[in-house]
Structure 1
Amino acid sequence: MKCYDCALSGRSDTTAIGVCTRCGLVICRDHGRVTRTVIHQSRGTGASTTGRPARRAVCQTCYGAEYPG
């Protein structure tokens, strides 16, 4: 698969490395960002988050919307 942002700019030589977890577009290494997220699980009255954050891939547009500035 080819990166969506690269295809828009006319580049066809990039290979996608993931899918944005927010919008679902295919992203390459240049246009993707890997962020951390806390996993929440329903466990009754016990802890609802895991001890380690998980990772997720997002595109530049979604990253900019989540982390402005």
Structure 2
Amino acid sequence: MKRINILYGGKQYSISGRDVDEVKEEIRSAVGAGEPYWLELNVGEGKFKRASILLSPGVDIAVVGIDPDE
């Protein structure tokens, strides 16, 4: 994957340099633990601008792998 888009709270974030299944497992583990968890990522695309989103049960989040060939 070139990058992973994360849709959270109506906004788009991104993660690069990681595998989509790894990120999904991190989210699943965090939510399954039942404790709030901060996931670090990038705001939008392009120049890195660090952001943290709070993961907890009941919060809507989408993980979209972006293939560079598409």
- In terms of fraction of residues, the more strand-rich structure is 2
TM-score by length of 1: 0.28
TM-score by length of 2: 0.28
